[in-house]
Structure 1
Amino acid sequence: MAQISPKLARTYFAEISAGSAVPLDLDDLLHMVKLRRHNHVLIGDIALHCYKNKSKWTYNERDIRHAAHAFANFQLDAGDVVEVQLPAYLDHGEQDPEHRGRADWRQQIASWMFWQARDKHQEGRPYEEWDDSWKHLGASGLPGELTWDEFVGARSGIRLRENIANTRPLDLITSAGGSLFLPRAYAALLDRWEKVEEGLVAQARICKGCAAQGPRWGGWRTQSPLGYVTLCPPCSGAAFQRYGGHLRGVLYESPRVRGTRADDYLCCLCAETRAAVWDHCHDHGFLRGPLCGSCNTFEGKSLPRYFLEGKEGAALHLLECRGCLERRTLPGRYHVAIVQKRLEATEHHRHRGRRCKRRPSVRHVKLAHGAHRFELECWWHSETWTKDVTVPETAALVRGFADQALAAPQPDVVVPAARTASGTTWPA
């Protein structure tokens, strides 16, 4: 059979599997949230391969119809149930990094309940009275003081988004006598899903070039004309060339850019993955360099502060734009983040005649009458106050940030002749 679009695949699957005993959430056929991880979408324990052709993703129609018929005929006896044993709560630091994020449907259900128990425990209580009681299972079989009716009521508005293997377990789980139960056939389906998911992840971690095992979260995964492939940094470095800045100062709309493939290069930010697109400054229109899909999304859609703090070389990459470099500035969407960070480091209130040493949290309120207004809060003392920073003051802080990034030494980075090195530290 032919290859079909994700939209048509979802339509066929929904029509064929209508009335399935397993409640399905099929939007992932469109969104493909784990596409980079292993090139598949899993509906229950059935892995549907995603194919790429001419920059478009498709499914095999035969695969879609076969999987949909399997769910249409799925036998589920609501009276034949098994008890669900919730795992104990573990803080992030207590978890084994290798097991963090593994396919574990019991852990996922437990996490929804722990989050809800925490919210109930903290709601309406002062911070001083918060404790860890919500981390322990109570008489109801749920964490803390949470009851089943409270859990179902609180999660009802978002249950369609809380899926496991693109199925909705909260539609099938029941509570009785302090225990939780699921239909045996459905629990077995989720057990099989764990094995299929982990098998795909394990296979996708192997470098195509040297067979080395890569990080669990797909850090070595790179785009190719036929989908994502796994290449370790040395193999990527051997396969793709580093960008030397030969298009620096060229406008993004220039024919020179259109005639040069970005995927001939390594991503100039992470330097580990094949580039996918040419990144450019939306304020000035100048090219910044080739980026992989992950770094390009991080720059364009993450909060500005997260990008500047979380990506090494972020500030210098933004200054690859000739307009930003000449003006010693950054794109406008980063200005507020720089001021917020500055205020957190320098602004303090006085409590009982003494200067509070704790860093306040800062929220941008609005821009009016030529000044940015920020609301600052010391949660420790429940104190709030406002601070106005004029547009010229903001521009000066951004210029200082850019100058410090340009002056900070960092080896082995290709930089414009007008500057010396890179850095992403915040100005003091």
Structure 2
Amino acid sequence: MSERVIPGRTDGLITLGAADALWVDLTAGSAVPTASGAFTRSPAPARTGYVLLGGHVVATVKASGGQWGVPEAEVRRAAAELNAVGVDRQDLVRIGPFRRVPRQEYDEGTPLRWRQRITWELQELGGSEQAARREGGQCHLAGIDWRQILVERTRDGTRRTWWLPRAVVRLLDAAEHTETQWARAARTRRADAAVVEPSSCAGQARDADGRQTTSPERPTVSLRPYTRELEGQLYSVLSRKPGTSRKVAGWACAVCRTAPATVLDHCHEHGYVRAPVCQSCNTQERPDHLYSNDIRVTNRYARLFHTDTGTWLRHWHRCPGCRARTTLPLPHLAAWTAHIACRSLRPTHRAPRGRKPCGVLRVSWTGNQQAPRSCVLTVAIDLCPSGEHRVLARVPYREAVERFRVWLAETAPAVAAAAGPDRLDGLPAQFRPVIADTSGEGLELF
């Protein structure tokens, strides 16, 4: 992009209006749609010392004349980071509604909490008021115009659900975490400033004209990697300990290793904690349409067996019970059986570009994994283009486990080597029943 003159530039600073224009200009080709009022419209908290642009914090500066500005270099850095984000608009994460959010007025002093903001706007604002807000450009979050990429679906003919691309969810999660760290660092600085001479405050400086400006120092936002600190602990015990949520927030997601962790993923069959993960990875790991004995294996979930397969298998085997028995929890094992073990049985249909697999895979089970001989997995096809609905296979639970062991040894030998029947000490003698979760509200529990 060619350089252009930015009005209002002073010693590296540009006015908020100029920063708005620059942000839109720099991100014009981004896969993530951006908003024109990223600095000047709510919920951008420019007058509280910072503005969020994606996962980046840009400090705002107030000169003695009362005019607010931002460093141009920081705007450009934030735009470059956003432009590097790739978005797959078919890879969606459900963001609500999960539960009703109490009516609340949001202003510049309110933290991002982007899920609550989206839920509040879509549920509480209606008709002309909603249209007015959209026309006014006040629908951005961290400089992102989320309305342009929001997908709304109708469930059971009446219930609406909202979805965003996974890359955008991770970006907004990172923004929320960064803002929390920034606010924490700002509180620490204010506490320290109370016992320091005013002339020695690090946040005070003078610009080229000798005017005094105030700019908070940018905190170092660091997430510590997860190194198996919670291995072998029961979720039922750990989740009740005070301070667990705060401790989880300090880790990077144990799967993607980039986003901040928000929840503790755990095995429902054995009760052990797997690892702290971000909301995006936690949603991706959850099988679609999980009922007491029936799931669909959609393209989103099927990707786990093709993209970073070793990472996901290692994550599931963080549960000592699954690792020792060289298997997966029943819903995951059922999905693997349908998608991998029965792949050759799935019919195909002609498509514009070759042939396309028939319909959508669905797998159900009868019996229970607590009594393996009674448990049978039934793999079927739903939504067949030709109108057919067929059963592909009925696989006994023990046979599915044995097939998985063979495949694991070939696909992820390092994961297979860490498993085995010689590590059963201290494990429960029986599986726990799979917990049905049809509401979607307990995503952090799976």
Q: TM-score, normalized by length of structure 2? A: 0.40
**TM-score under structure 1 normalisation?**
0.41
Larger RCO (CA under 8 A, 6+ residues apart): 2
